[in-house]
């Protein structure tokens, strides 16, 4: 309310009782008081506006306090509102029944003003603390979601699962991993000719589409390096045919560039073999891969013409029954000499 006073609903069929209790509450500086002449009216009022406390008489015609209390506590939108029962009935059975139905407290008539003040104050304080705890919980949950979003931005899903399960991601050597490098052609020249806001927005759109394609094929995005992207198949997430999945993903990445403005061209290189993976860094940690397989994938990709997917002929032989390819000749790869490369045309 505007004056900060808690909203109290007073439910009693006796006008004199309502008048007496209302005056007592106003003397205690509770100014936002609404009166209901019976249980039905009380429930209608509670559906139309929110209350911080209900003072509910037990003995009423049409609908007694027990039934009103039962309906309040069975309504998911009302059940958290504290209810103090006030009645001339002082039998222990009545008290027990009210508590079992969910009443916050019970006061007999004629009520003791000091006890009434204390129990109203205690009920309102419990409600305030409950709201405070719920707000704190929401804040913690929001921080957790932000933390999870940050982890997803830095780590592949498999690494996140291991980190949450064991509080660490152990460095390991992985066998038979398919590594995919995707590089945007002439991106630097495009940057020099266009406003930075446009370049970054368009790159963001393309990377988001790449991430969608990578996820569809069961690969894991490892990182972006400037205008290049690295992903793996069969690293932390098991795949039956990692090389087939990587090749199919590479072809779909090429198709994705044609759907996204400004229709950049890309080169894709794929290689398969052992890699070492782990987290490095302290102030800004990064999950990364190392090894000859990673270097080969990057160098093979650099040899590919625009909008093509390249791999070595030796690697292609492993999936030749699934992959239609065309030989592209010998290429000199740094540290490897002449290697025959093939272009992947389709996956069956």
Looking at residue 78, what is its pLDDT? 93
In this prediction, residue 1 carries a pLDDT of: 43
| Residue 167's pLDDT band (cuts 50, 70, 90) | confident
89 pLDDT above the threshold of 70 = no
Q: What pLDDT shows up at residue 91?
A: 72
Contact residues for 257 (Cβ-Cβ < 8 A; gap 6+): 206, 263, 264, 265, 266, 307
pLDDT at 150: 67
Q: Are 36 and 64 a contacting pair, CB within 8 Å? A: no
Q: What is the mean pLDDT of the chain?
A: 90
Of residues 144 and 317, more confidently modeled: 317
Q: What percent of the chain has pLDDT over 70?
A: 97
The rounded distance, in Å, linking the Cα atoms of 346 and 309 is 10
Q: What is the pLDDT of residue 111?
A: 75
Token look-up 């996956």 returns 347
pLDDT, mean of residues 103-130:
87
Q: Tens of pLDDT along 126-136?
A: 888 988 888 88
Reading the block at residue 339, the tokens are: 């290697």
- Which pLDDT does position 283 carry in this prediction? 75
Q: Give percent of the chain with pLDDT exceeding 90.
A: 64
Task: Give mean pLDDT, residues 56-80.
Answer: 92
Q: 149 vs 346, which has greater pLDDT? A: 346
Give the per-residue pLDDT at 140.
87
Is it the case that residue 2 has pLDDT exceeding 50?
A: no
Q: Which helix (H) or strand (E) holds 205?
A: helix 196-216
pLDDT in tens, 119-128: 899 999 988 8
Ranking 130-139, 279-288, 332-341 by mean pLDDT, the lowest is: 279-288
Distance from CA of residue 40 to its chain's centroid? 41
pLDDT at 90 (0 to 100): 65
d(CA 98, CA 218): 57
The predicted model gives 283-306 an average pLDDT of 92
Helix (H) or strand (E) holding 221: strand 220-225
Which residue has better confidence, 10 or 285? 10
- pTM value is 0.62
Read off the pLDDT band of 153 (50, 70, 90): low
Q: What domains sit in the chain, N to C, each tagged with a CATH number?
A: 8-136 (3.40.50.2300), 161-347 (3.30.70.1230)
Note whether 65 and 37 are within 8 A (CB): no
Of residues 324 and 163, more confidence is placed in: 324
Condensed to tens digits (0 to 9), the pLDDT of residues 205-262 reads 999 999 999 999 999 999 998 889 999 999 988 899 999 999 999 999 999 999 999 9
């Amino acid at each position: 309310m505007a004056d900060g006073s808690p909203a109290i609903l007073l439910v009693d069929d006796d006008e004199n009782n309502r008048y007496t209790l209302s005056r007592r509450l106003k003397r205690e500086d509770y100014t936002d008081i609404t009166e209901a002449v019976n249980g039905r009216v009380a429930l209608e009022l509670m559906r139309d506006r929110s209350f911080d406390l209900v003072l509910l008489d037990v003995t009423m015609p049409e609908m007694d306090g027990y039934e009103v209390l039962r309906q309040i506590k069975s309504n998911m939108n009302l059940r958290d509102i504290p209810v103090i029962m006030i009645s001339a009935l002082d039998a222990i059975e009545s008290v027990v029944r009210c508590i079992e139905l969910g009443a916050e407290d019970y006061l007999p008539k004629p009520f003791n003003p000091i006890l009434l003040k204390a129990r109203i104050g205690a009920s309102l304080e419990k409600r305030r603390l409950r709201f405070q705890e719920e707000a704190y919980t929401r804040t913690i949950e929001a921080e957790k979601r932000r933390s999870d979003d940050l982890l997803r931005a830095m780590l592949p899903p498999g690494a996140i699962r291991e980190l949450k399960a064991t509080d660490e991601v152990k460095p390991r050597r992985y066998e038979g991993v398919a590594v995919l490098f995707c590089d945007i052609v002439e991106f630097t020249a495009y940057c020099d000719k266009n406003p930075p806001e446009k370049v970054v927005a368009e790159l963001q759109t393309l990377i988001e589409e790449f991430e969608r394609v990578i996820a569809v094929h069961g690969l894991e995005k490892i990182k972006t390096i400037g205008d290049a992207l690295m992903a793996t198949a069969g690293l932390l997430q098991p795949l039956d045919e990692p090389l087939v999945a990587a090749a199919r993903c590479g072809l779909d990445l090429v198709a994705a560039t044609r759907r996204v403005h400004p229709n950049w061209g890309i080169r894709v290189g794929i290689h398969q073999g052992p890699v070492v993976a782990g987290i490095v860094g302290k102030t800004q940690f990064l999950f990364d891969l190392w090894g000859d397989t990673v270097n080969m994938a990057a160098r093979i990709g650099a040899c590919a013409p625009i909008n093509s997917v390249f791999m070595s002929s030796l690697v292609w032989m492993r999936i030749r029954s699934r992959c239609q390819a065309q030989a592209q000749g010998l290429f000199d790869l740094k540290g490897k000499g002449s290697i025959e490369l093939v272009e992947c045309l389709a996956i069956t």
